[in-house]
């Protein structure tokens, strides 16, 4: 099994920053998995935020977060991070970590991921 544990969510004012972490564990997790972040705001579909391939060298971002968010990966710790800067109220959502058994290319559809975390709430006040 694979477990993905997100942390780092919270309440922040517009223009502020947060860093989310996702630690992967479990007997079947492999460092060769691609990983990503999605989010779901109330009343909206789940939306791709950012993804990183198994090497950590290839990254891809959803248009709403380009230039503000940065995804990174620490393979030794089986952990990915999402640094979120210049946060806006429209970034308010539950953020989910996901893992794909395919190391690349980076999937932007949630159907391309096999494992999901429980989510962490990010709230940006205006």
How far is Cα 15 from Cα 46, in angstroms, rounded to an integer?
23
Detail the DSSP E strand segments found in 8-126.
Answer: 10-13, 18-25, 34-40, 47-52, 59-61, 69-74, 79-84, 93-100, 115-116, 120-125
Predicted confidence (pLDDT) per residue in 1-60, tens digit? 899 999 999 999 999 999 999 999 998 888 889 999 999 999 999 999 999 999 999 999
Distance between CA atoms of residues 87 and 11, nearest Å: 11
- Measure the CA–CA gap between 31 and 55, rounded to whole angstroms: 9
Q: DSSP string covering 54-70, please?
A: TTS--EEE-GGGTTTEE
On the question of pLDDT at 94 being above 90, the answer is yes
Phi, psi of 34 (to 5 degrees): -75, 155
- 111 exposure class (CB count in 10 Å sphere: 0-12, 13-18, 19+): exposed
Rounded mean pLDDT, 113-122? 97
């Amino acid at each position: 099994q694979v477990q993905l544990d997100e942390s780092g969510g919270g309440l922040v004012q517009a223009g502020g920053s947060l860093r989310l972490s996702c630690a992967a564990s479990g007997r079947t997790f492999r460092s060769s998995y691609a990983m990503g972040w999605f989010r779901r705001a109330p009343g909206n579909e789940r939306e791709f935020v950012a993804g990183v391939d198994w090497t950590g060298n290839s990254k891809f971002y959803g248009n709403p977060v380009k230039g503000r968010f940065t995804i990174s990966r620490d393979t030794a710790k089986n952990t990915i991070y999402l640094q979120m800067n210049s946060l806006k109220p429209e970034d308010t959502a539950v953020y989910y970590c996901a893992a794909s058994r395919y190391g690349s290319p980076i999937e932007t559809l949630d159907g391309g991921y096999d494992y999901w975390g429980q989510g962490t709430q990010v709230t940006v006040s205006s």
